[in-house]
Amino acid sequence: MYWTLELASKLEDAPWSANKDELIDFAVRSGAPMEVIENLQELEDDGEIYECIEDIWPDYPSKDDFLYYEDE
């Protein structure tokens, strides 16, 4: 399983909190690339509820990670 910023961004509008099956369903319905669906299928299916993309990919950058000032 590998994530890139582009792949992970396809899940930004997902219906969080969601389990693995709900995320796969969202990815299919939204037309996400096959790599996103494959990555989601590789998640362990222990009934876990994911609250946000960071639960799936902990390295997903937050708004604080970008180097710009909102005032400018």
- Residue 45 domain-assigned (yes or no): yes
- Residue 71 domain-assigned (yes or no): no
- Residue 16 domain-assigned (yes or no): yes
Section 16-23 average pLDDT? 95
- Residue 70 domain-assigned (yes or no): no
- Residue 15 domain-assigned (yes or no): yes
Confidence of residue 27 (pLDDT cuts 50, 70, 90): very high
CA distances from 63 to 3, 47, 66, 70 (A): 18, 29, 6, 11
Range of the domain at 59: 5-65
Higher per-residue confidence, 61 vs 8: 8
Number of structural domains, the chain? 1
Q: pTM for the complete prediction?
A: 0.81
Give the pLDDT score at 59. 83
